[in-house]
Amino acid sequence: MCSIRCNYHVNYVDFVRYLRMKARGNGAELIYSHNEVPESLMHLMGKKNITQERRHWVPRDIRIDETSDTAFFVGCAPYFDVIFDNIGVKSTDSPIGVMRLLDAGNIPYKILENERCCGHDLLLSGDLQGFLDLGKANISEFENGGVKKLIVSCPECYYTLKVDYPRYFENWNMEIQHITELPGILNIGNKTGKMRPAQRATYHDSCRLGRYFKMFDGPRSLLRSTDGIELLEMENNRENSLCCGASPWMFCGSVNKRIQDERLRQAIDTGANLLITSCPKCQIHLKCAQVSMSNTGKNIKIADIYHVVSQNLVLKENA
């Protein structure tokens, strides 16, 4: 929001990133949240010759085309399920929802067994080498898998692969598409059934997808195409949306909590019973804040957009 409202057009993200890189170079130690588990995990994934089991959570009825040259970039959702289990986060609901939408749209894709974190948070925290290690590992996986196109749903992964990878890696010419940019996806409501009971929902614009890419209408069109959802707007929405309050797994103090509490109160004030977001990190941060709120703050459910829409898909065999 600072970059948008600043009259001097300062790119605050690049400015802060540069300062953090300089601080690291001078031996400063940054303060991380969640016992530094996310950072440790990202550094582990940046190592060469590691193997992962990243697909055990994929439902058996999901159709994956191993011959496709298009891959769905899942991101860190499978690891978030474990790290944030104590606050009831189920981040894999999001990629599962995306895959069901892709299936319904007859869009072929595969997912890579050894995909790494995109590196967004390491780069934003000033850890350039850590980011480069992850990027190189990912590029190697893409090349080995014959991948020519990536479908992405996580806003931060989308930004990193589309904006940061071309900056730091020569000859990066991968086609990157957000799920809501794919033909037919926004009309997927034609294949959905009516939600029972009806839901009054409000949508939270994430910083990357919203202010950075101006992708405000796509997610809303997807929700409006789903019968049974009444979409309500918060006081701060679209380019004026409030941040979820924290990035990138770094110090989360009283100021961050106030931002999160205000966002939750704005959602509650709409009269909605469902707060929907397209960003797994926004969901985690808002759920974390919700845990410490009063009972009133716990009356609204926080959910992923792709999970919500895909839950209403009418299976073809039952149509």
Two structure tokens written together for 221: 């069109």
C-alpha atoms less than 13 angstroms from C-alpha of 10 in its C-beta half-sphere: 11
Considering the domain architecture, whether residues 44 and 165 belong to the same structural domain is answered as yes
Residue carrying structure tokens 């037919």: 184
List the one residue out of 226, 229, 213 whose CA is nearest residue 279.
213
**Contact between residue 198 and residue 230 where contact means Cβ atoms under 8 Å apart:** yes
Per-residue model confidence as pLDDT tens digits over 32-64: 777 788 888 898 999 988 888 888 899 999 999
Residue 288's pLDDT band (cuts 50, 70, 90): confident
Considering the domain architecture, whether residues 173 and 102 belong to the same structural domain is answered as yes
Cβ neighbour number for residue 273 with a 10 Å cutoff: 16
List the one residue out of 74, 95, 81 whose CA is nearest residue 37.
81
pLDDT at 252: 75
Weakest mean pLDDT among 188-192, 247-251, 258-262, 273-277: 188-192
Question: Could you give the percent of the chain with pLDDT greater than 90?
Answer: 54
The answer to whether residue 319 scores a pLDDT higher than 50 is no
Instruction: Identify the three-state secondary structure at position 230.
Output: strand
**What's 247's domain CATH number?**
3.40.50
How confident is the model over 271-289, as a mean pLDDT? 92
Residue 103's pLDDT band (cuts 50, 70, 90): very high
Considering the domain architecture, whether residues 268 and 144 belong to the same structural domain is answered as no
**Contact between residue 313 and residue 191 where contact means Cβ atoms under 8 Å apart:** yes
The answer to whether residue 286 scores a pLDDT higher than 70 is yes
Considering the domain architecture, whether residues 26 and 71 belong to the same structural domain is answered as no
Weakest mean pLDDT among 62-76, 83-97, 114-128, 244-258: 244-258
Rounded Cα distance, 116 and 52, in Å: 9
Considering the domain architecture, whether residues 171 and 256 belong to the same structural domain is answered as no
Per-residue model confidence as pLDDT tens digits over 135-188: 999 999 999 999 999 999 999 999 999 999 999 999 899 999 999 999 888 777
**Contact between residue 101 and residue 188 where contact means Cβ atoms under 8 Å apart:** yes
pLDDT at 278: 95
List the one residue out of 55, 65, 71 whose CA is nearest residue 139.
71
pLDDT at 54: 83
Considering the domain architecture, whether residues 37 and 22 belong to the same structural domain is answered as no
How confident is the model over 100-114, as a mean pLDDT? 93
Overall pTM > 0.85: yes
**Residue 204 is inside which H or E element, if any?**
strand 199-204
Considering the domain architecture, whether residues 276 and 228 belong to the same structural domain is answered as yes
pLDDT at 196: 59
Per-residue model confidence as pLDDT tens digits over 1-43: 555 665 556 676 777 777 777 777 777 777 777 778 888 889 8
Question: Could you give the percent of the chain with pLDDT greater than 70?
Answer: 90
Domain count for the chain, please give it. 3
The answer to whether residue 296 scores a pLDDT higher than 80 is no
pLDDT at 1: 55
- Scored b (16 or more CB within 10 A) or e, 239-255 reads eebbbbbbbbbbebeee
Considering the domain architecture, whether residues 204 and 285 belong to the same structural domain is answered as yes
* Separate counts of helices (H) and strands (E) for the chain: 13, 7
Q: What single-letter amino acid sits at 100? A: R
pLDDT at 29: 74
Considering the domain architecture, whether residues 44 and 168 belong to the same structural domain is answered as yes
What DSSP string describes 48-65? TT------TTS-TT----
The answer to whether residue 239 scores a pLDDT higher than 90 is no
Containing domain of residue 203, as a range?
185-316
Degrees to nearest 5, angle at CA 273 with 268 and 275: 75
How confident is the model over 207-221, as a mean pLDDT? 91
Weakest mean pLDDT among 100-104, 127-131, 142-146, 224-228: 224-228
**Residue 200 is inside which H or E element, if any?**
strand 199-204
pLDDT at 21: 73
The answer to whether residue 194 scores a pLDDT higher than 70 is no
Considering the domain architecture, whether residues 221 and 94 belong to the same structural domain is answered as no
Q: What single-letter amino acid sits at 41? A: L
Considering the domain architecture, whether residues 171 and 40 belong to the same structural domain is answered as yes
The residue that leads in pLDDT, 198 or 199, is 199
Considering the domain architecture, whether residues 173 and 39 belong to the same structural domain is answered as yes
The answer to whether residue 195 scores a pLDDT higher than 70 is no
